Chains A and B, each alone.
Chain A
Amino acid sequence: MKHTVDVNIPLGPVHPCFKEPARVKCETKGERIIAAEVELGYMKKGIERIMKGRPWQEVMFLAERVCGICSVIHNMVFIEAIEQVSGIAVPPRAAYLRVVANELDRMQSHLLANFSYCYTIEHETLGMYLLDLREKVMDVIERLTGARVTCAYIIPGGVRFDIGAQDEAFLRESLARIEDDLTRYTGMFESGPMIALRSRGIGILTKEAAMQAHAVGPTARASGISVDRRTEHPTYRQLGFEPVVRTECDNYARIMVRFGEVFQSIRLIRACLDNLPEGVIRGGGTCTAGETRYSGEAPRGELTYIIRTDDYGRVIDIQIQTPSIMNIEACCHVMIIGVDSVADVTSTFVSADPCIACTER
């Protein structure tokens, strides 16, 4: 069949709906999208090149700055890879505190992603509610780790700060308030008729297509694939972790999976605080030579670090595989194709929660 295109519409790199620069080129026929292509390359800084040959004390901070939104998980995966290389054991109290920090980070990341989606579909009221809720989470993170973003909380052999009785009470109180508010906002999202018009049945990514595109994280879980690296993490196993899975495969399902995961994070943090063991938060150890591949579950999906270190704990070789690139590919090859209007392209793209900073590094 002859390939006819009415208009070629470029979106971006500076676009009202995108937080970060990316360019989506859509080939349209009428209002229907028949093909799309994502052009990246606006954020490439070459972090992996800078990391090579540097001691872990420096690489730790660079790893955190791969992505500012999900900085705690980058920190955690890099440090746990270093620990696996060197055989450093983590005190149980520190392992639980790591989960608390990581889940708080996941909560703020998911709330930001859902805010972006609500903002894109022009439901600004709900978006602002969610952004205000995110500020409450940021307060807790600041109280626990000392910084809002890029807090460098996790270090080899433990964590930097202990949680005091006052901080724990504040954390519990904040969680109760966040859970109350979020229940209301989730109800608004579920029952809103205008939201349903813009979300349900749009941007379909079937289970087969998701498997073919290697979609990860909430995008895969919204397509009915039960995949989550946290099921293999020892601390999460002790807490009895089960992934949140939905089977609707559309934009609505992806947002609802994120809401579900925020509730799950609240439950996990409560379980951590209830079972928090006594003891030290920093053990000893020496970073040594070795090579390993270690994966963790970032808010956007599976994050892998492949590192090789020398006898002094310097990183000789490092490769980072971030989750967003798979979701962006799934988005532009499957989800966007066939949506009924150009307005749905941005909302579908945002629903996959693309993070360009960690895609290009």
Chain B
Amino acid sequence: MSILQTIKDKVRSRSIHVSYVDLGSCNGCDIEVLACLAPRYDIEQYGIYVHNNPREADVLIVIGAYTPGWQEKLTPLWEKIPDPKAAIAVGNCPISGCCFNRRGAYIDPPVSKHIPVAAEVPGCPPRPTEILAAILSVRDAVFANWEGRQR
């Protein structure tokens, strides 16, 4: 691995920009992601910044069970994120649809049908520490030596 790659890896591992998108959840996972910002969990000590702007994001946190309103919007949103990128499904809804996955509901889980998902955090809702651990685990798996693996 070249020196340039080593520097890139080091910088990337300490600067992760996060965007989150709600595809129709109950809001419970939403506020647990927001709670990660609180000084108690202090997401910024790991170099993770929540900007909610897809064009400068590295990690997309996906919450919710994929409602029809997102059919033409989620894939363009995913394509706007520059490489290297990863999506994390937070909560039961993007994984299985949770309690909304019944006959008659307007949802289409899992989200991995529509965009590639790198990590899944089950729970209804998961604790902020679990969300934080998932972001940190994705950091090493997806961003390390990205250019080298592309070749």
Contact = CB atoms under 8 A, between A and B. Distances in A.
Given A16-B52, A131-B37, A149-B32, A50 B69 contact: no
A46 B103 CA distance: 10
B67 A43 contact: yes
Interface of B: 19, 21-32, 34-35, 37-40, 51-54, 64-65, 67-70, 73, 77, 98-100, 102-107, 124-125, 127
B100 A20 contact: no
Nearest to B73: A13
A134 B38 contact: yes
Interface of B is mostly: loop
Given A45-B67, A131-B34, 16 more contacts: A16-B52, A20-B22, A41-B69, A42-B22, A44-B67, A65-B100, A68-B26, A71-B26, A115-B34, A128-B38, A131-B38, A135-B40, A138-B35, A149-B125, A356-B22, A357-B22
Contacts, number: 123
A176 interface: no
A355 B27 contact: yes
A62 B100 CA distance: 8
Given A14-B21, A135-B40, A150-B124, A47 B27 contact: no
B77 A45 contact: no
B32 A148 contact: yes
The 3 closest A-B pairs by CB, nearest first: A68-B28, A68-B27, A357-B27
Interface residues of A, number: 40
A66 B102 CA distance: 15
Contact of B34 (A14, A112, A150): A112
A19 B127 CA distance: 18
Contacts of B125: 68, 148-150
B35 A135 contact: yes
A49 interface: yes
Nearest to A62: B99
Contact of B24 (A14, A44, A68): A44
Contacts of B65: 45
25 contacts: A14-B77, A15-B52, A21-B22, A21-B69, A42-B70, A43-B22, A44-B24, A44-B67, A45-B24, A45-B65, A46-B107, A47-B105, A50-B104, A65-B28, A65-B100, A68-B25, A71-B26, A112-B31, A115-B34, A128-B37, A132-B39, A132-B40, A135-B38, A149-B28, A357-B26
A282 B64 CA distance: 34
Interface centre among A16, A43, A49, A69 (most CB of B within 10 A): A43
A358 B69 CA distance: 16
Contact of A49 (B25, B68, B105, B127): B105
Interface of A: 13-16, 19-21, 41-47, 49-50, 61-62, 64-69, 71, 112, 115, 128, 131-132, 134-135, 138, 148-150, 355-358
A67 B25 CA distance: 9
B35 A131 contact: yes
Contacts of A46: 104-107
Contacts of A65: 26, 28, 98-100
A241 to B, nearest CB: 26
A148 B127 contact: yes
A116 B146 CA distance: 36
Given A132-B39, A135-B38, A42 B100 contact: no
Contacts of B51: 16
B26 to A, nearest CB: 4
A61 B31 CA distance: 18
Nearest to A50: B102
Given A135-B35, A149-B31, A43 B53 contact: no
Contacts of B77: 14
B100 A150 contact: no
Contacts of A47: 100, 105
A14 B67 contact: no
Contact of A21 (B21, B99, B105): B21
A69 B40 CA distance: 19
B32 A14 contact: no
A283 B11 CA distance: 60
Contacts of A128: 37-39
A358 B53 CA distance: 24
Contacts of B73: 13, 42
A150 B67 contact: no
Contacts of B24: 42-45
Nearest to B104: A49
Interface centre among A66, A68, A128, A134 (most CB of B within 10 A): A68
A43 B106 CA distance: 9
